[in-house]
Structure 1
Amino acid sequence: MRRRNRACEECHRLKIKCDVGSALLGGACERCNRNNLECVPAAPRLQRDRINELETLVQELRSALRDQSSSTTPSRSPGGLVEGHSHSVLSILDARIPLSKQQDLVRLFAHHAGSAWPVVCLPMDLDRIRAKCPMLLLSVLTCSVTHEAQGTDLDVHDELVRETMHILGDEVIGKGQRSLELVQALLVATFWNKVARRGQQASCYQLIQLAADMAIDLGIAGPSLRPSAASYFSQLKDATSLGARRTWLACFVAVSTSSISTRRPHTVTWNGYHHLCLEYLEDQGEPSDILLCQIVRITQLIQEISNHLGLCQLENYVDVNDHGTFATIKTLKNKVDAWAAQIPISIASSQTLIVWHHVAMIHIHELVLHTPTNKASFAAPFIPGRIPVKDFPKPPSITPPLKQALIAIVQHCHAVISTAAEMDPALILSLPSMCFAPNILYALFVLVTAMAAATDPANTYGQCLPKECFRIEECVLKLRIVTASIKALDPMMSCFTTRFFDATGWLEEWYNDYIAILRRYETNLTIQN
């Protein structure tokens, strides 16, 4: 391998080393050859300056012509991107991912992320996608796959992430565009959220709000949520189409999941129109909508659990020992069990739905760890610093319902972790990083928190939860094995799912330190006695 005297245009633009391989590459550098790009030596500096001047002049002339024609021709339409900008989006994508690879990634999305979390139905015909929804294509190919699957360098992958977020922001905020395609592109960037290694991009929580607000402005949210006055002329003509209804339900899943994770009040609560959309999808939808409808149903149940138990009302304390509280818990458990019983046979064994079933049960029983002052600790991020080490409920006695709830929360935490450990790593990476991986972290966090509460010498929880019942070493070992398998598919951790699973090691380290302190305390107590 040898260094060129002058870098090629692509390497010069990225400001990276330009290495020419063997003569078999025909004089192309290794990076251009690997990415199927034309390798053209960069022009000398003075020539580049002249080229830049000419390109600027051409751009100014194009802008003048566009401004001149804008008085008679609309620059954009409510249905999609402006034609010129659509070409720009495709140019950005084509410069980094060859067309043949784009087709492969579309198939990969359909068979993996699109089937595991079917919030968007993408046609298999690449030409049709490029013509009808280029922004959605960019979002899918950037966010839903690892950079290894893209076949790009990490620098190029990061550049794609930055460009995608920039274009989304420019279209939604800068230009005020509204379209069903943009809502779907925002949802994809939300569920499979990515952040480049350098620079700041919008968080998934900001993207969720943009998607939900735009959906309402397009008129696909039903009659009870009225669009803003400024969006009157941007509403869809067919706001009740299958795609529109599916997109609105996906918005509900995103908003509701964000609410329970951050423990903030719901901004889009379940209403009659959601139910109509759900029934329509179950009756008229695609085969993949069967799974989506069940995801929507359990999400709605978790929202109901949150509302009844005040999980997102941090100022309201619900006493777990109150007789009425246990009656509410029993009612909610029955509803979750009823949901599990009605899942269609074709997807009854879905590991994704099994995880959500047990997560819902953890939310129901989380009250056994609440005090008036520690409820905010059960919000993301689920890191050791948020474990309420001393702020635990300490009832003078354990009632039978409380004992059952304590045992249940440990069992459901184990079930979440065990199910995740049995899943195909490729499936885990296909599931949305915004909600699946955080749920696994949440289960481990609650398990460690329950263990800390039960091992507090002044607490009565240890009477029914001995240290051995938590099996935390076994759980972290399972997660360590899963994390290693995921890293093998995503070694550079370009997906947040990989990073979230890797973060389970932080709770493992905290647990090991805590156990060491606890053993020293028990040893000293034995010596004193």
Structure 2
Amino acid sequence: MRKRLRACEECHRLKIKCDISTNPDAASCERCTRNDLECVPAAPRLQRNRIQELEAQIQELNSLLQSQSNTSPTPSRSPGSYTTTSRGRLPGSVTDNHYDAILVFLDARIPPTKQQHLLHLYAHQAGAAWPVIRLSMDLEYLRTKAPILLLSVIAYTITQEAQGVDVETHDEIVRETMHVLGEEVIGRGQRSLELVQALLIVTYWNKSTRRGEQGSCYQILQLAADMAIDLGIAGSSLQPTPPAYFCRHHDTGSVDARRTWLACYVALSSSSISARKPNLYPWDAYHDECVLYLESQGDASDMLLCQLARITQLDMEISNHLCLCQLATFVDGNDYNTHAVIDTLKSKLEAWAAQIPSSLTSSQTLKVWWHVAMIRLYELVLHTPTNKALFAAPFIPARIPIKDFPKPTTIIAPLRTTLEALVQNCHAVLDTAAEMDPAMILSLPSFCFAPTILYTLFVLVTVMVATTDPANTYGQCLPKDCFRIQNCSLKLRTLVMYMKALDPTLSCYTTRMFDATSWLEQWYNDYTAILQRYEANLVH
């Protein structure tokens, strides 16, 4: 496309330069192409009439929105054209204009009365099940002070069914939320506690639309962590970037700031252990200070967050001592010294379980995290010098080792006990998940809860394959009927059925991941048939 002397009508209306298309044959600029708008060169107009014209346009738009009923059709204009809509102010006053435009977009798809309902839904579901981000229940306050956070919560933590919109509108809201965050963080270089929290919401409850994934949750998490450090809420040991020196949060030691940094730690550690990469921001004295502060100054929800932070820290300690994230380092599971380390770490896990407040001892979420920590403690008995990378996400059938297993000639007693405990803890995780309320499962973050269940299933199947290998000595330690794979498959299939009733379009990534466990039954049947044929050939 040839460069124009004037911007097109849409770009001129927004007071921005045309984003010239790199395609020389294109008739539209990049922004109009992206937003499916007609790209028409702007006609010369007098600057003195510009403000009056914009005021009239906004007044007309406000009148239209006020008269729009809950069942009115969604405006056809692309959301990207709203994010920088002006409101008749001077060009230098852009912040309020920008935020007002976000609300214009949201209101056109979900009316404020519905937003209030969804806000309460978040507080009683996702916000209660995983209390990393606390929101005011005052909708007007959020609309005025934290519209991006409000948009992120509605877009990512609420299913399409609960939003009460069609699939296309749901996906449009998700895409626009990512677009707004990109404009704020990358385009405008903004930093605020609200933006860190919005990025964490998008990370924890990450979604992908029918047009593909909207940003990597791992990259979004890194943006959140770096911004938290720049704001000064990560403690004095982490140095902000030089440009952020004048952008520090006004109250770096507030309850909300400390809660947000702990939320960053839990997400960073979950990412580290799942991807099997070192955590760049390990636990330090300030994390201890934050936990103690929240336990003394916070509320009941903060108690759950503190316990999640404590068990996550122990999970990372297990990873560090047993080199789970150091793929080139092999730790022998048939060594007495290794099991001495395991016993020490197990004692720390038991000490953590003993200090859980009585109000949280029945928490199914903490029960899952306890048993998962035990699985990671025992996982190394399946490691060889060459198969450790297979225990990183994604946890899919294609990555299940078939031949690469430890095959010690003489098995020491602690290894036998560890294999039994590994299977028992896998069943405990899967049984606990199967007993949970499907609505609660949908409220838990898809970033770490669903992958944790898939990891557990992966480990259970892996130990079964290792044990049933006719050439493996592990078969001496566990009976073939102890794995109960068919029973696990039935429980998961039943759970998915209830989850789909709440999320029929699979708008929540957790539903999609649980639904993907359908491979288990067919895989088990195929594996069993192969094993039976092999054993039959040995007899003959």
Of the candidates 343, 362, 365, which is equivalent to residue 330 of structure 1? Answer: 343
Q: Which residue number corresponds to residue 114 of structure 2?
A: 101
Of the candidates 495, 502, 508, which is equivalent to residue 515 of structure 2? Answer: 502
- 2: CA distance, partners of 1:481 / 1:245: 39
Map 1:300-339; keep pairs closer than 5 Å: 300-339=313-352
- Post-superposition CA distance 1:22-42 (Å, at most 9, x none): xxxxxxxxxx998433689x9
Of the candidates 119, 124, 130, which is equivalent to residue 137 of structure 2? Answer: 124
Matched, 1:261 2:261: no
Question: Displacement, 1:443?
Answer: 0.7
Q: Which residue number corresponds to residue 222 of structure 1?
A: 235
Change (3 A) 1:274 1:172: same
Question: Displacement, 1:322?
Answer: 2.1
Question: Displacement, 1:455?
Answer: 0.8
Change (3 A) 1:338 1:34: farther
Matched, 1:382 2:400: no
Matched, 1:517 2:530: yes
Question: Displacement, 1:524?
Answer: 2.0
Q: Which residue number corresponds to residue 416 of structure 1?
A: 429
Change (3 A) 1:59 1:285: closer
Q: Which residue number corresponds to residue 231 of structure 1?
A: 244
- 2: CA distance, partners of 1:176 / 1:227: 15
Q: Which residue number corresponds to residue 251 of structure 1?
A: 264
- Post-superposition CA distance 1:96-147 (Å, at most 9, x none): 1111110000000000100000001111111111111111100000100100
- 2: CA distance, partners of 1:411 / 1:129: 46
Q: Which residue number corresponds to residue 275 of structure 1?
A: 288
Of the candidates 36, 50, 60, which is equivalent to residue 71 of structure 2? Answer: 36
Contact 1:35 1:151 in 2 (8 A): no
Matched, 1:89 2:110: no
Q: Which residue number corresponds to residue 384 of structure 2?
A: 371
- 2: CA distance, partners of 1:176 / 1:276: 30
Q: Which residue number corresponds to residue 23 of structure 1?
A: none
TM-score (norm 2): 0.85
- Post-superposition CA distance 1:233-288 (Å, at most 9, x none): 11112111111000000000000000001101111100000100010000001221
Of the candidates 155, 179, 182, which is equivalent to residue 142 of structure 1? Answer: 155
- 2: CA distance, partners of 1:255 / 1:321: 31
Question: Displacement, 1:62?
Answer: 6.0
Map 1:144-223; keep pairs closer than 5 Å: 144-223=157-236
Contact 2:85 2:98 in 1 (8 A): no
Q: Which residue number corresponds to residue 437 of structure 1?
A: 450
Q: Which residue number corresponds to residue 286 of structure 1?
A: 299
- 1: CA distance, partners of 2:430 / 2:381: 20
Gaps of at least 5 residues in structure 2 are 1-34, 38-66
Q: Which amino acid letter does the alignment assign opposite residue 455 of structure 1?
A: T
Change (3 A) 1:38 1:368: closer
- 2: CA distance, partners of 1:302 / 1:371: 21
Question: Displacement, 1:511?
Answer: 2.0
- 2: CA distance, partners of 1:113 / 1:432: 8
- Give secondary structure in 2 for the equivalent of 1:288: helix
Identical pairs, percent: 63
Q: Which residue number corresponds to residue 451 of structure 1?
A: 464
Contact 2:336 2:414 in 1 (8 A): no
Change (3 A) 1:321 1:218: same
Of 224-233 and 192-201, deviating more is 192-201
- 2: CA distance, partners of 1:465 / 1:187: 42
Change (3 A) 1:91 1:60: closer
The two structures, once aligned, show a CA RMSD in angstroms of 2.1
- 2: CA distance, partners of 1:39 / 1:373: 54
Contact 2:74 2:109 in 1 (8 A): no
Q: Which residue number corresponds to residue 461 of structure 1?
A: 474
- 2: CA distance, partners of 1:89 / 1:489: 28
Change (3 A) 1:38 1:157: closer
Contact 2:335 2:412 in 1 (8 A): no
- 1: CA distance, partners of 2:99 / 2:325: 41
Q: Which residue number corresponds to residue 354 of structure 1?
A: 367
- 2: CA distance, partners of 1:261 / 1:498: 19
Q: Which residue number corresponds to residue 22 of structure 1?
A: none
- 2: CA distance, partners of 1:61 / 1:397: 77
Q: Which residue number corresponds to residue 10 of structure 1?
A: none
- 2: CA distance, partners of 1:394 / 1:500: 32
- Give secondary structure in 1 for the equivalent of 2:457: helix
- 1: CA distance, partners of 2:85 / 2:232: 36
Contact 1:35 1:152 in 2 (8 A): no
Question: Displacement, 1:14?
Answer: 9.5
Q: Which amino acid letter does the alignment assign opposite residue 382 of structure 2?
A: L
- 1: CA distance, partners of 2:414 / 2:276: 26
Question: Displacement, 1:495?
Answer: 0.5
Q: Which residue number corresponds to residue 489 of structure 1?
A: 502
- Post-superposition CA distance 1:131-166 (Å, at most 9, x none): 111111000001001000000000000000100011
Question: Displacement, 1:337?
Answer: 1.1
Q: Which amino acid letter does the alignment assign opposite residue 37 of structure 1?
A: S
- Post-superposition CA distance 1:215-238 (Å, at most 9, x none): 001010001101000111111121
Q: Which amino acid letter does the alignment assign opposite residue 503 of structure 1?
A: A
Question: Displacement, 1:60?
Answer: 8.9
Contact 2:132 2:263 in 1 (8 A): yes
Q: Which residue number corresponds to residue 472 of structure 1?
A: 485
- 2: CA distance, partners of 1:221 / 1:487: 39
Question: Displacement, 1:509?
Answer: 2.4
Q: Which amino acid letter does the alignment assign opposite residue 177 of structure 2?
A: T
- 2: CA distance, partners of 1:495 / 1:425: 12
Count residues in correspondence.
473
- 1: CA distance, partners of 2:186 / 2:403: 45
- 1: CA distance, partners of 2:456 / 2:315: 15
- 1: CA distance, partners of 2:457 / 2:375: 11
- Give secondary structure in 1 for the equivalent of 2:246: helix
Question: Displacement, 1:466?
Answer: 1.6
Of the candidates 281, 289, 298, which is equivalent to residue 311 of structure 2? Answer: 298
Contact 2:85 2:101 in 1 (8 A): no
TM-score (norm 1): 0.86
Of 511-520 and 108-117, deviating more is 511-520
Change (3 A) 1:242 1:494: same
- Post-superposition CA distance 1:24-69 (Å, at most 9, x none): xxxxxxxx998433689x9xxxxx9xxxxxx99x979969x41xxx
- Give secondary structure in 2 for the equivalent of 1:503: helix
- Post-superposition CA distance 1:380-425 (Å, at most 9, x none): 1100011111110000022110000000000000000000010000
